[in-house]
Chains A and B, each alone.
Chain A
Amino acid sequence: MAGDHLPLAELTSSGRPVLLPSEIECSFLSNVELESENSANFSVRLKSGLLILTTHRLIWLPPNPVPPGSKGCYVPLAAVSHIVSKKSMKSMFASPRLSFQVSVGPDGRVDTKSLVRGSRSIVMTAVMRGKGDVDSFVAKFWENWRGRAWERDNEELGSSSSVKSGHESGSGSGGFDSTGMRMVGVAGILRREQEIWESTDKSLHDAFQDLNALMSKAKEMVMLAEKMRLKLLSGSSQAGAANNEEMGSKEEMQDWLLSVGIISPVTKESAGALYHQQLSRQLADFVKFPLERSGGMINLIDIYCLFNRARGTELISPEDLLRACSLWDKFDVPVMLRKFDSGVMVIQNKSYRDEEVFARIKTLVTKPDTLRMGISASDAALTLGIAPAMAKEHLLTAESQGLLCRDVSPDGFRFYVNLFPEIISDDLYVVQHHGVYAMWNTIVSSA
């Protein structure tokens, strides 16, 4: 089994790979067969799957629908010791083949640690049987392998800890910084702050100069945002009880963080023909958090704004969004697109049930005040804790189910509980003892 030799790839509930902290997806190819040369205790043969190239790994995902027992796995680029193929892949008769040499540990498993143990090498080949831009995939493969993004991560982990220790030693022993200037007292603190601000400023400046550089700086940006958040948190706790303004800005900061949360947007370039599929899955993942916050149903327009904001660059068009949502039917994702009679479209959890909202509306609309005065969409929005546009859709749906009646007047558009079923046609003057009609009648007569 491939699982014996290659590490398994962790997936989200929508079938997307869970990426490492600074990992970015670069290219996709479908219908790829991954195999190894025949060898004693290492044999891999994975058919017609999806091959994803990232800055850190080559991920192989099983095709859709998934054959039983098959799981996604990956080859860390760190374990690749040599790329065998020529740069040009075009061949008249056979499918293009990309071969590379992988270090394998004595236990027959590939992972980054095996490099260190000085092991043997196995040649693996990816046979590209599908349509797709193979040349660009291979070019990026070379680029990423040379880029050695995983080593930079290790470096940074090491460097950030050394920076911390540097600061500690500085404040502890009243010491000097790298240029030999005295970093003592308030002046020293100010100077240190100044230097940090300058380097931050330069970092921002560089990032905005060059969009390519921005992609690699994206990780730095996120770290910056993280630091700001921590500062805010520590700032508010120092002040004791946080006042309203601080709470407000903290909330804003969290919102902004959410919206810069995605480092690796799926783009047309990296996914080619699979663009919509991968976008669809990424959207399904993204949508979970906003859905929770808005009670299980959210306007499509709101998601369009939120999603594009999170992507930053490589914005998607409304048509792309619609197509991505309609693809959800084909996958097993926990969300769905719903269109109301009025034309409003929303995204909701598959587990969402109208009945719950109807029960709440019914309770709201049979209170003494609302029996007499009815409710408007904004009243309902306030009580139910949802957006007014959504509240109106719910009220209209409840009306179509016979739960409510509308009242249109110069006072506005209001809804009352539907009493018509309880009114007896044969005798217009009779009000039965039990029921909402009786309750209504009592309240109205006593006014």
Chain B
Amino acid sequence: MQKLGDFKLPPFFNYPPYFTLQPVRDTREKQIQLWKDLILDYCKTQKIFIIGLEEEFPLFSNHVIERSLTHEAREAFLSALVSEGRAEWLDKGRRKCLILWHRIQEWADIIVNFVKDNALEDGGVVTVEEIRSGIESRGTELHCLDRTILMRALKLLEHKGKLAIFKGTSADDEGSKESAAKPCNRDSIRNNFHFCWAVVGMEL
């Protein structure tokens, strides 16, 4: 079986028409479906969060059969992902696409579990960096998570009242924690929800 790095490619990856955007509706729908699944699979295993349309993306070319997706085709497949809610355009010009191989809600759930597993106390403070690159995060899906996605997930949780986000004042780690312990209405929060903790981030 053919590989792209350590990613196993499916057999139809060598089928030349796979790389030409099909005009016939039924055929095209199937083609789009296959590309959507393949893109999500690839990004998940390779931990890719952003695809730039004008850059070289290994999945969009097959050197064995000498075929590449045209810009139009790439846009078509990524737009299909966006419509399904599995991706978002980062700019109006549609040059960069954020890939959500986990939806934001799923990331939020993963963060909640992460907190539980690592027994962060109620009312505890944690930095954004700790979530994505701290010791506890290694080996989890959160490791090296794209900041944009992380912030969106955190905001979602904040919206649901599970945490509060604060802005840190300096780059100093230790210092930021303490100075960041701003007063918040902990009592009201504690009374209403399971746990709460404050999250501090440097770039917000």
Contacts and interface: CB of A to CB of B under 8 A. Distances in A.
Interface of A: 374, 399-400, 402, 405-409, 411, 414, 416, 418-421, 423, 425, 428-429, 431, 437, 440-441, 444-445
Given A402-B27, A406-B23, A409-B20, A428 B10 contact: yes
A441 B20 CA distance: 19
Interface residues of B, number: 25
B22 A405 contact: yes
Contacts of A414: 16
B8 A429 contact: yes
B8 A405 contact: no
A407 B20 contact: yes
Query: Is the contact region of chain A dominated by helix, strand, or loop, or is it mixed?
Result: mixed
Interface string B160-182: 00000000000000000000000
Given A420-B34, A428-B37, A429-B1, 18 more contacts: A402-B24, A402-B26, A405-B17, A405-B22, A406-B17, A407-B16, A407-B20, A411-B66, A416-B15, A418-B27, A419-B17, A420-B22, A423-B34, A425-B33, A425-B34, A428-B12, A429-B11, A440-B15
Contacts of B14: 444
A406 B34 contact: no
Contacts of A408: 20
B138 to A, nearest CB: 30
A421 B27 CA distance: 8
Contacts of B37: 425, 428
A406 B15 contact: no
Nearest to B33: A425
Contact of A423 (B22, B26, B30, B66): B30
Given A423-B34, A428-B34, A399 B24 contact: yes
B54 to A, nearest CB: 20
A408 B31 CA distance: 15
B11 A409 contact: no
Contacts of B44: none
Contacts of A409: 16, 19-20, 66-67
Interface string B28-72: 001101100110010000000000000000000000001100000
Query: Is the contact region of chain B dominated by helix, strand, or loop, or is it mixed?
Result: helix
Given A405-B22, A409-B66, A429 B31 contact: no
A441 B16 contact: no
Most buried by A among B8, B23, B24, B67: B24
Contacts of B10: 428-429
7 contacts: A405-B27, A406-B20, A407-B67, A411-B66, A420-B31, A428-B38, A429-B1
A445 B64 CA distance: 12
Interface in B80-133: none
Contacts of B41: 428
B24 A407 contact: no
B70 to A, nearest CB: 8
B19 to A, nearest CB: 8
A408 B66 CA distance: 11
A400 B30 CA distance: 14
A89 B145 CA distance: 100
- Name the 5 nearest CB pairs between A and B, nearest first: A405-B17, A428-B10, A407-B16, A420-B30, A408-B20
Contacts of A440: 15
A411 B66 CA distance: 10
Contacts of A429: 1, 8, 10-11
A405 B27 CA distance: 8
A430 to B, nearest CB: 9
A414 B27 CA distance: 16
Contacts of B12: 419, 423, 428, 437
A424 to B, nearest CB: 10
A420 B29 CA distance: 10
Contacts of A431: 11
Contacts of A421: 30
Nearest to A400: B24
A418 to B, nearest CB: 6
Nearest to B15: A419
A222 to B, nearest CB: 50
A429 B20 CA distance: 20
Contacts of A402: 24, 26-27
A405 B8 CA distance: 25
Contacts of A425: 30, 33-34, 37
A440 B14 CA distance: 10
Interface in B135-168: none
A402 B27 CA distance: 7
A416 B22 CA distance: 12
A414 B37 CA distance: 26
Most buried by A among B16, B66, B67: B16
Interface string B174-200: 000000000000000000000000000
A444 B13 CA distance: 11
A319 to B, nearest CB: 32
Contacts of A444: 11, 14
Nearest to B27: A420
A431 B38 CA distance: 16
A402 B28 CA distance: 10
A173 to B, nearest CB: 80
Contacts of B31: 420
A409 B31 CA distance: 17
B16 A374 contact: yes
B63 to A, nearest CB: 13
Contacts of A406: 17, 20, 22-23
Contacts of B33: 425
B42 to A, nearest CB: 11
A437 B20 CA distance: 18
A416 B11 contact: no
B22 to A, nearest CB: 6
Contacts of B27: 402, 405, 418, 420
Nearest to A413: B20
